[in-house]
């Protein structure tokens, strides 16, 4: 029992790693495995596994040697600002589809504002995996 207590006291705190960039990653670039390295230190708000970042898009410039924070990356954009997108609404057996102009950049599952080209009203919706925007959820 005493040896177990000594081992627990000597073990110290558990540390996690943080992921850092190995090069400048420009906003809009897709992150690959060669862009990442591990820093053996815990940094709050930073990724701790490289696998979680591969394939994501940089939302802003990421500098080498700095930890990559959660708010610096996101799903790859399917919708760009000013792009014409299909807007869909469905509820209670009613389905409406029209065109709109995206007012921002967003990936699948993210919110985006869209100008309805028919009514000239701005609506908010969620980008679908096919690049359309679903409103009225």
10-residue mean pLDDT series, the chain (137 residues): 45 70 96 95 93 96 96 94 96 94 94 97 97 91
CA distance 135 to 137: 6
Quote the pLDDT of residue 85: 98
Quote the pLDDT of residue 5: 40
Quote the pLDDT of residue 16: 75
Quote the pLDDT of residue 15: 58
The pTM score is 0.69
């Amino acid at each position: 029992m005493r040896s177990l207590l000594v081992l627990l006291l000597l073990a110290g705190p558990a540390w996690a790693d943080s992921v850092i960039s190995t090069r400048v990653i420009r906003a809009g670039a897709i992150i690959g495995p060669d862009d990442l390295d591990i820093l053996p230190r815990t940094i709050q708000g930073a990724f701790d596994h490289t696998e979680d970042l591969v394939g994501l898009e940089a939302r802003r410039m990421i500098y080498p040697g700095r930890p990559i924070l959660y708010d610096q990356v996101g799903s790859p954009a399917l919708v760009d600002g000013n792009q014409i997108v299909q807007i869909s609404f469905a509820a209670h057996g009613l389905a409406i589809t029209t065109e709109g102009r995206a007012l921002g950049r967003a990936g699948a599952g993210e919110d985006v504002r869209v100008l309805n080209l028919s009514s000239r009203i701005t609506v908010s919706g969620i980008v679908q995996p096919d690049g359309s925007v679903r409103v009225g959820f």
